[in-house]
């Protein structure tokens, strides 16, 4: 017998194309769980509308004028109220405070548009292009209190082509992200990962 359906909480600030990839994978029953709630710190984030369209509770919480810890505590409460097992950051443009990270130990993941530890931070696709990297890609990693610094769950490489612009490169990386994120979520929800120091050991890999 299978256990109870695992529940995902997705946090975002913008477009939400990765959320869409997760929604689509859940519909195909390839996610290993369901999306219980989507939370955004931006009222107009298109990702919130994608959630509503899919019939998923979509919550806006303004962070402006709030201390980081107080804001994070509110988000933790919302996720708790929806009985979230795993938190997915999908273009959530905020660093998480220790309050948040400790509330979901080893159960928060992020997707980053480069092969970490190369090119952390903002505009990673452009960073790789400007640096002249020949290969970049996408990374799903556990979230700790640093910037894009937690243990790596999964990566997909994307070659940088000679005719690339940062925008064309970013578009190909995004396609890789949409394949990678649902796969990584499934590995985690199915309990096929265990963390040993910096290393995430994936069963069968």
Chain contacts with ligand GRF (rule: CB under 6 A) = 12, 14-18, 47, 90-91, 111-113, 174, 177
**Distance between CA atoms of residues 56 and 146, nearest Å:** 30
Compare residues 24 and 73 and give the one whose CB is closer to ligand GRF.
24
State the minimum distance, in angstroms, from the CB of residue 21 to ligand GRF.
8
Determine whether 141 is an active site residue.
no
70: Cβ contacts below 8 Å, ≥ 6 apart: none
Q: Which of 203, 179, 199 is nearest to 189 (CA)?
A: 203
Residue 183's Cα: distance from chain center in Å?
12
Q: Is the dihedral of CA 199, 112, 132, 159 positive or negative?
A: positive
Burial of residue 186 (CB within 10 Å: 0-12, 13-18, 19+) is middle
> Which of 112, 131, 141, 178 is labelled catalytic?
112
Compare residues 71 and 92 and give the one whose CB is closer to ligand GRF.
92
DSSP code string of 13-44: SS--HHHHHHHHHHHTT-SSEEEEEEEES-TT
User: Which residues are part of the catalytic machinery?
Assistant: 112
């Amino acid at each position: 017998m299978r256990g109870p359906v695992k529940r995902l909480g997705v946090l975002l600030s913008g477009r939400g194309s990765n959320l869409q990839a997760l929604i689509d994978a859940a519909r195909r029953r390839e996610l290993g769980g369901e999306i219980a709630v989507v939370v955004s710190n931006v009222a107009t984030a298109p990702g919130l509308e994608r959630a509503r369209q899919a019939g998923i509770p979509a919550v806006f919480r303004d962070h402006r004028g709030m201390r980081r810890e107080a804001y994070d505590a509110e988000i933790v409460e919302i996720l708790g109220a929806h009985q979230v097992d795993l938190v997915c950051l999908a273009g959530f443009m905020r660093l998480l405070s220790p309050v948040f990270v400790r509330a979901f130990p080893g159960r928060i993941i992020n997707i980053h548009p480069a092969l970490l530890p190369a090119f952390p931070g903002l505009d990673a696709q452009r960073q790789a292009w400007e640096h002249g990297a020949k290969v970049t890609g996408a990374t799903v990693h556990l979230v700790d209190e640093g910037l894009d610094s937690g243990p790596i769950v999964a990566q997909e490489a994307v070659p940088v082509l000679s005719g690339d612009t940062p925008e064309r490169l970013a578009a190909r990386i995004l396609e890789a992200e949409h394949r990678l994120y649902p796969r990584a979520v499934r590995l985690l929800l199915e309990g096929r990962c265990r963390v040993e120091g910096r290393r995430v050991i994936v069963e069968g890999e």
